[in-house]
Amino acid sequence: MDKGREAPGATLFRPNIEGRTSQDPEVGPEYGAPGGDGVRTRAMREIFTGLPWWVKWVAVPVIALVVFGSLILSVLQVVVALLFKVLVFVALVGGLIYVVRKFMAGSSSRSDW
């Protein structure tokens, strides 16, 4: 491996004015820069700062629901179906245990088992 190059995926750190190490801007803060606010987070805050409240709290969620609504409904459908199947399974096992105990209690006088 070249001595002047970092391994692929390695994070680069450079000391800043205060002597702390901050992540190389080429790598980006999303790869685990120590402390501080990421560039993407600040950019999103700056975008939403000048907008009215209804854009942040009404329009953006409505757009998200329109775009991802079918995905959200699909996930909810899978979760509800799974919970229903678990409920049916528990009811069937409980019924089986009830019938077996009832049968065993009724035939406890028999010793043919």
Per-residue pLDDT tens over the stretch 7-61: 555 555 555 555 555 554 544 444 445 555 577 788 888 888 889 999 999 999 9
The contacts found for 110-113 with CB under 8 angstroms, 24 or more apart, are none
Q: Where are the domains of the chain?
A: 13-106
Helices marked H in 7-50: 39-49
Tell me the mean pLDDT in the region 74-94.
98
Per-residue pLDDT tens over the stretch 90-105: 999 999 999 999 999 8
- Full-model pTM: 0.47
